[in-house]
């Protein structure tokens, strides 16, 4: 029985990894007024939902262009969701301006594609706390789901554990 569960889980994982979009996708890349780089992908058969991916911590002075839409973007696009991501106009502990970065991203999305019917926000590590901050403060529209995984939600206290561990 355990072997069957593993095979089933493996099949589901492979199906998710192999998902491709069945329709064309419109992609917009650019920057916001605040200077953050953005990427937006919307399938032709858009279901009205918008997924926002928040990346993790980075000290790099040069932000990758364009920002990643996350490892689940192919699956999300194949399900009809629009997917968007923003770099942050700050590097490192970027929380001081990420609310504005996400608001600018959503404003750019609305200007090009209209109001999303529902918004989902997710991210890991620093992206997890950016996600938590977004649902508390950013007013991004009809946010119906958020997944802040491995978020540094203790704020600066998270660094205490890292320093103690060192």
Residue 104: give its domain's CATH number. Answer: 3.40.50.1820
Identify the pLDDT of residue 97.
83
Helix (H) or strand (E) holding 12: helix 2-17
Rounded CA-CA distance 137/135 in Å is 6
Identify the pLDDT of residue 109.
97
More confident residue, 99 or 61: 99
Rounded CA-CA distance 76/129 in Å is 22
Number of domains in the chain: 1
- Residue 22: helix, strand or coil by DSSP? coil
Cα angle 84-50-140, degrees, rounded to a multiple of 5: 90
User: What range does the domain containing 19 cover?
Assistant: 2-165
**112-118: average pLDDT:** 98
- Residue 6: helix, strand or coil by DSSP? helix
More confident residue, 90 or 83: 83
Q: Which of these, 47, 55, 98, 39, lies nearest to 77 by C-alpha position?
A: 47
DSSP state of 71: T
Identify the pLDDT of residue 102.
95
* Rg for the chain, CA atoms, rounded: 17
Question: How many other CB atoms are there within 10 angstroms of residue 147's CB atom?
Answer: 13
- Strand residues in the chain grouped as ranges (E): 25-31, 37-43, 49-54, 82-86, 118-124, 143-149
Question: Which tens digits make up the pLDDT trace of 17-63?
Answer: 444 435 799 999 998 888 899 999 999 999 999 999 998 887 765 55
């Amino acid at each position: 029985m355990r072997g069957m569960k593993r095979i089933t889980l493996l099949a589901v994982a492979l199906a998710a990894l192999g998902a491709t979009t069945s329709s064309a996708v419109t992609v917009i890349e650019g920057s916001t007024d605040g200077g953050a780089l953005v990427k937006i992908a919307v399938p032709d058969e858009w279901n009205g939902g918008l997924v926002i991916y928040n990346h993790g911590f980075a000290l790099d002075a040069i932000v990758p262009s364009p920002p990643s839409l996350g490892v689940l973007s192919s699956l999300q696009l194949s399900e009809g969701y629009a997917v968007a991501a923003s770099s942050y106009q700050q590097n490192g502990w970027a929380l001081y301006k990420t609310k504005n970065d996400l608001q600018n991203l959503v404003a750019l999305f609305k200007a090009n594609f209209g109001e999303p019917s529902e918004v989902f926000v997710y991210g890991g590590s620093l992206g997890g706390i950016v996600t938590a901050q977004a649902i508390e403060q950013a007013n991004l529209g009809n946010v119906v789901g958020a997944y802040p995984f491995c978020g540094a939600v203790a704020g600066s206290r998270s660094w205490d554990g890292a320093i103690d561990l060192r």
